A and B are shown apart, each in its own frame.
Chain A
Amino acid sequence: MIALRHVTKRFGGRVALDDVSLAVEPGTTHVLLGSSGAGKSTVLRLILGLLRPDAGEVRVEPTAPMGYVVQEGALYPHLSAGRNVVLPARAANWSAERQAARLDALAALVGLEPELMARYPHQLSGGQRQRVSLMRALMLDPPVLLLDEPLGALDPITRASLQAQLGRVFGELHKAVILVTHDVREAFVFGSVITLLSHGRVVQQGTLADLAQRPADPFVTEFLSAQAPPPEMARELRL
């Protein structure tokens, strides 16, 4: 369970988050939408305890472990992909066999060939790195998962199949998940509830249908329609 209540966060004089509240129950996936600089990553970093709120309250249960995928992957360049993935398990003193078994299972889950686990991050493609990063976040099977654009660098096909796979995994495993994305379609696939942020403020909270049909602000419509195909294109391609 994750809960933010009236959270404000400032960097220096600038307000990055202003009176933000949201709650995520186990078994649900919450999507954070918003344009660049809106404060999405800051929300995740507050939940992780990497930042402290200037006002309001952040509550997470249980507090550890949390799975976290950052935008750029943040894999350790001196460790092979496999060593990166098992790092949290080593820190938790798992046996080598248990680590190896989990590694294989996760590689299968995200669709990476086991041979790739011996490679170093700089020897992998951007999309492969993102999937390794995702594996690392899932290693300890954490009840709380925080994903900051985890599928950004994937091609549309892999992306779609992984979205479907992850959606299933999150639902089955009863996790509380927050997923940051720019992509409205991804919000639709994962999101039971969406929070749309703009300049550190919550513009609207609700399902995609709520946002589309009862926009609280012209910005909501603007944001959603910016990602819909233009009408001429939809007509032309008979979408």
Chain B
Amino acid sequence: MALLVCAAAAPAEPPRIRVGSKSFTESYILAEMVAQIVDETGEARAERRLGLGGTGIVYGALASGDIDIYPEYTGTIAQAILKEPTLASVQAMRTRLGARGLTLGVALGFDNTYALAVRRDAAARLGLRTIGDLARHPGLRAAFDPGFLDRGDGWPGLQRQYGLRFAEVRAMEHALTYPALVSGRVDVIDVFSTDGQLARLDLALLTDDRRFFPDYSAVLLARRSLAERFPRTWAALQGRLGGRIDNATMARLNALADLERRSFAEAAATFLGRSSAETARRPARELATLTLEHVWLVAVSLTAAVLLGLPLGILAARRRRLAQAELMGVGVIQTIPALALLSFMIPLFGIGQLPALVALSLYALLPIVRTTHAAISSLDPRLVEMTTVLGLRGWRRLAWVELPLASVTIMAGIKTAAVLTVGTATLAAFIGGGGYGTLIVTGLALNDVGTILTGAIPAAVMALVIHAAFEALDRVVVPRALRAAPSASN
């Protein structure tokens, strides 16, 4: 695996432009468009690093130079990246980003923000064109996504701004609000303005005439070096995408992927007017490759965790004072949500396999350190004391007596860590670490249970296989007399 990475970096290769995306459909499709235009222009070869989680991870990857370009939204840039929520103009953002070695392309033309939707017939009947019009119909029933209900820039703020009142407002999972609206059980729902469902269902979007929802215009966010080193590519991106994609177009492309099960590459190619034969070569990476990647992630991180965790656990068992601090340290790591831990790795190790391996190793550390410490410090003190009398010192005491006696418990800890790691490793895909998570992340973006399962089922199978493998390993590692769990009451 490491050899492959080296080979890719060999000097004979053409220069690469690494294209990133977040892990939702629209971002995947836009990134595919970018990658296809890069390849077409021919100045460089596109390398896809798609599905890199949320803003924190993908922006971190851009800032650290692990990717060169990805699609972003002006509202996110102002609020989450520059932390200047009042910043409105693209030009002002471009200037601010310039100081960070980054640049912005021209706006792509559509705006992915919250909107309210009603049935088209109801809109006609009640004369609804703007959100403000809703204030005249307090008898309507609304269903909103829980996220929208809670956010200050969601329902609470909107209600205040427009003075809205409904007969009923209930929380409902986003995917369920569409059928509820179409079947007439509710009258108003929140949507994203480029949602694929909008293209298919007969819905009317209400105009945000008081401009309450912040502007989320799509733009290309890139490293300045990309624009400088590959001027033709940068110009082609501006020319072919800038101002060309309106809300309806983006919604249709999203529908292509989300509802009609077309690949992101196909959806992108459709927009670019390319034949899908050209894009059929999209590397729908095979299960075998993903399995290898996943096994590699688990094997390397588990090995590292054992090599580090065993000595740490032994040390903790030897030094009471150190044990407190040490166990607390590894415990704290465990409380960091996996995605957060992964994103902390980006400034240090960039994206890809390395940061995933480091994060996974840290995660696997706790069960190993804790069980090793517990196993060794709870050994029968008379048996441990006897080692001194018998003249066993240092590593011999450890290797001949303590570790064998503790082996059942320690192996159980390693087994737990291994099975945990198989599951956690699916998150590696969020920072471009590969493995089964790649399918799960894509499936989540498409809201496609089938795709999610093609990643989740092999991961579950691998967890079972690894568990069985460790049961077998017990026969090698744990002394025979301890395995049968005899009532050793002597």
Size class of the B contact interface (CB-based, 8 Å): 20 to 34
Please determine whether A74 and B382 come into contact, CB atoms closer than 8 angstroms. yes
Min Cβ gap B403→A in Å is 10
Q: What is the chain B residue whose CB lies nearest that of A126?
A: B490
> Does A179 reach chain B (CB closer than 8 Å)?
no
Q: Does A120 contact B (CB under 8 A)?
A: yes
Find residues 67-84 in chain A having any chain B CB closer than 8 Å to their own CB.
Answer: 68, 70, 72-80
Within 8 A of A (CB), among B381-401: 382-383, 385-386, 388-393, 396, 400-401
CB under 8 Å from chain B, chain A span 144-195: none
Given contacts A122-B488, A129-B490, contact A76 B401 (CB under 8 A): yes
Indicate the member of B404, B486, B490 with the most A CB atoms within 10 Å: B490
Q: Which residues of A contact B400 (CB under 8 A)?
A: 87, 90
The total of chain A residues at the interface (CB under 8 A) is 29
> Which of chain B's residues 463-490 have a Cβ closer than 8 Å to chain A?
479-482, 486-488, 490
Does chain B have a CB within 8 A of A43?
A: no
Residue from B382, B392, B396, B482 in contact with A70 in the complex, judged by beta carbons closer than 8 Å: B382
Closest residue of chain B to A139, judged by CB?
Answer: B390
The answer to whether A91 and B404 touch (CB under 8 A), given A120-B486, A122-B486, is no
Taking the closest CB of chain B, its distance from the CB of A144, in whole angstroms, is: 11
Residue in contact with B386 in the complex, picked from A65, A74, A120, CB distance below 8 Å: A74
B414 at the interface (CB under 8 A from A): no
Interface of A, secondary structure class, is loop
Contact residue among A49, A77, A88 (Cβ-Cβ distance under 8 Å from B482): A77
Nearest residue, chain A, Cβ from B488: A77
Interface check A92, CB cutoff 8 A: yes
- A64 interface contact, C-beta 8 A: yes
Q: Are B386 and A77 in contact (CB under 8 A)?
A: no
Closest B-chain residue to A122, C-beta based?
B486
- How far is B389's CA from A66's CA once the two chains are assembled, in angstroms? 7
Task: List chain B residues, Cβ under 8 A from A76.
Answer: 383, 401, 405
Which B residues lie within 8 Å of A140 (CB)? Answer: 391
Residue A50 interfacial (CB < 8 Å): yes
- Asked if A136 lies at the interface with its beta carbon under 8 angstroms from chain B, I say yes
Q: How far is A136 from B479 in the complex, measured between Cα atoms in Å?
A: 20
B481 near A87 with CB under 8 A, answer: no
**A121 CB-CB contact with B under 8 Å:** yes
A88:B405 contact, CB within 8 angstroms: no
* A77 contact set on B, CB distance < 8 A: 405, 481-482, 486, 488, 490
Please pick, from B393, B396, B482, B490, the residue contacting A78 in the complex, using a CB distance under 8 A. Answer: B482
User: Could you mark each residue 41-66 of chain A with 1 if its beta carbon is under 8 Å from any beta carbon of chain B, else 0?
Assistant: 00000001110000000000000111
User: Are A87 and B392 in contact, CB atoms less than 8 angstroms apart?
Assistant: yes
In the bound complex, how far is the Cα of B488 from the Cα of A72, in angstroms? 12
**Chain B residues with Cβ under 8 A from A92's Cβ?**
391
Kindly identify which residue among B380, B390, B479, B480 contacts A91, using a CB–CB cutoff of 8 Å: B390
Task: Collect the chain A residues with CB atoms within 8 Å of residue B389's CB.
Answer: 48, 50, 66, 68
* A129 CB, min distance to chain B CBs, angstroms: 5
* Residues of A participating in the B interface, judged by any CB pair closer than 8 Å: 48-50, 64-66, 68, 70, 72-80, 87-88, 90-92, 120-122, 126, 129, 136, 140
Please name 9 further chain A to chain B contacts, defined as beta carbons within 8 Å, in addition to the given A48-B389, A79-B479, A122-B481, sorted by A numbering.
A65-B391, A76-B401, A76-B405, A77-B481, A78-B404, A78-B481, A88-B390, A91-B390, A121-B481
